[in-house]
Amino acid sequence: MSKCLFAQNQVEYLGHVVSSRGVEPIGSKIQAIQQWPIPQSTRALHSFLGLAGFYQCFIHGYASIAAPLNHLMTKDSFVWSLTAQQAFDMLKEALTTAPVLLELCAITTAVKKWHQYLLGHPFVILTDHHSLKELMTQVVETPKQQTYLAILLGYDYHI
């Protein structure tokens, strides 16, 4: 019981906060990113990119934004430039103003996590998101939607 939480407004899980607003990065991690000093070495840059990469799902176009910084990671090419500074600032800005993920991502993440409890048992997914209410009757348009829908197949649920 000491590890169980019931009737919570939000839950921290694997570096994320899951709440009624959706999935977001943990505030303390975002604060650490905001206060991150300019990397002075490849090792320091690697640390920053590791943390930023963990939250890349919140950043649209992460790979293209981080490309100048990733280029600095190659052997003997660490020279901080204006392009690197702009990429560094853009990543920090993008991470501190991260949008909330779609509810479908949060639902599938929860179902995968608790699959041992949900498989073979009917359950209800509560949402006010209209397109999720019609999930099984709408046309699946993107590969991401197909992936999420495939995760939910085989479960006895009602939205």
Extents of the domains making up the chain: 16-96, 102-158
Give which of 22, 44, 37 is closest to 98, Cα–Cα: 22
Q: What is the pLDDT of residue 122?
A: 94
Q: What would the pLDDT profile of 101-118 be if each residue is shown by its tens digit?
A: 477 777 888 899 999 999
**Among the CATH numbers 3.40.50.360, 3.40.50.1000, 3.30.70.270, 3.90.230.10, which is that of 16-96?**
3.30.70.270
Confidence label for 123 from pLDDT (cuts 50, 70 and 90): very high
Q: What is the pLDDT of residue 86?
A: 95
| Alpha carbon distance 76, 157 (integer Å) | 54
What tokens were used for 91? 């990543």
Q: Is the pLDDT of residue 143 over 80?
A: no
Q: What would the pLDDT profile of 37-88 be if each residue is shown by its tens digit?
A: 999 999 999 999 998 888 887 787 889 999 999 999 887 778 999 999 999 9
Q: Is the pLDDT of residue 100 over 50?
A: no
Instruction: Give me Rg for the CA atoms of the chain.
Output: 19
